[in-house]
Amino acid sequence: MSIDITSIRAQFPVLNQQVNGFPLVYLDNAATTHNPQAVIDASTDYYSRLNSNIHRGTHFLSREATAAHEAARETIAKQFNAAHSHEIIFTSGTTDSINLVSTILTFSGKIKAGDRVLVSGLEHHSNIVPWQMLCEHTGAELDVIPITDSGEWDLSEIDTLLTEKTKIVAVSHISNALGTVNPIEKIISKAKALGALTLIDGAQSAAHMKIDVQAMGADFYVFSGHKCYAPTGIGVLWGREEILNELPPYKGGGEMIERCSFEKTTYNVLPFKYEAGTPNIEGAIALARAFDWINEIGIEAIAEHEQKLLDLATDAISHIDNVQLYGTAKEKATVLSFNIKGIHHYDLGTLIDQMGVAVRTGHHCCQPLMARFGTTGTVRASFAVYNTEDDVHALIKAIKKAAMMLA
Ligand SMILES: *Cc1c(COP(=O)(O)O)cnc(C)c1O
CATH number at residue 316: 3.90.1150.10
User: Does ligand 1 lie within 6 Å of residue 50's CB atom?
Assistant: no
Q: Which atom of ligand 1 is nearest to the CA of 124?
A: 11
Exactly one of 135, 228, 260, 365 is catalytic; which is it?
A: 365
Mean pLDDT of 324-328: 98
Same-domain check for residues 274 and 178: yes
Q: Among 122, 124, 120, which Cα is nearest to 143's?
A: 120
Residue after which a domain boundary falls, among 280, 295, 310: 295
Give the pLDDT confidence score for residue 1 in this predicted structure.
60
Q: What is the pLDDT of residues 120-150, one digit of tens each?
A: 999 999 999 999 999 999 999 999 999 999 9
Taking the C-alpha atoms of residue 376 and residue 373, their distance in angstroms, rounded to an integer, is 9
- Residue 156 Cα to ligand 1 midpoint, Å, equals 27
Strands of 7-127, DSSP E: 18-19, 22-23, 25-26, 88-91, 116-120
pLDDT of 69 > 90? The answer is yes
Question: Count of alpha carbons within 13 Å of 142, Cβ hemisphere only?
Answer: 20
What is the domain range of residue 233? 40-295
The helix (H) or strand (E) run that includes residue 340 is: strand 335-340
Answer yes or no: do 339 and 271 share one domain.
no
How many folded domains does the chain comprise? 2
CA of 371 to the centre of ligand 1 (A): 19
Q: Indicate whether this model's pTM tops 0.95.
A: yes
Three-state secondary structure call for residue 239: strand
What is the radius of gyration, based on Cα positions, of the chain?
A: 22
Question: Is residue 248 domain-shared with residue 386, that is, in the same domain?
Answer: no
Residue 34 belongs to some domain of the structure = no
Q: Is position 135 annotated as part of the catalytic site?
A: no
Distance 124 CA to ligand 1 centre (A): 7
Q: Are residues 226 and 340 in the same domain?
A: no
Answer yes or no: do 117 and 147 share one domain: yes
How many C-beta neighbours within 10 Å does residue 298 have? 14
CA count, 13 A, side-chain hemisphere, 307: 15
How large is the average pLDDT for residues 373-402? Answer: 98
- At residue 248, φ and ψ (nearest 5 deg) are -75, 165
pLDDT in tens, 333-349: 999 999 999 999 999 99
Domain co-membership, 203 together with 220: yes
The C-alpha torsion from 296 through 300 and 302 to 306, rounded to 10°, is 180
Note the pLDDT tens digit of each residue in 48-68. Answer: 999 999 988 789 999 999 999
Residue 139 lies in a domain: yes
Q: What angle do CA 296, 300, 306 make, to 5 degrees?
A: 105
Last residue of a domain, one of 295, 324, 349: 295
Rounded to an integer, the average pLDDT of 6-31 is 96
pLDDT tens digits for range 172-182: 999 999 999 99
The verdict on the CB of residue 95 being under 6 Å from ligand 1 is: yes
Considering the domain architecture, whether residues 371 and 261 belong to the same structural domain is answered as: no
Q: How far apart are CA 103 and CA 120, in angstroms?
A: 20
103 ligand 1 Cβ < 6 A: no
Question: How do residues 198-220 score in pLDDT, each as one tens digit?
Answer: 999 999 999 999 999 999 999 99
Last residue of a domain, one of 239, 268, 295: 295
Tell me, yes or no, whether 65 and 166 share the same domain: yes
Ligand 1, residues 96, 204, 337: which to mutate, most atoms within 8 A of Cβ? 204
**pLDDT > 90: percent of the chain:** 98
Q: Do 249 and 376 have their domain in common?
A: no
> Both 318 and 349 in a single domain?
yes
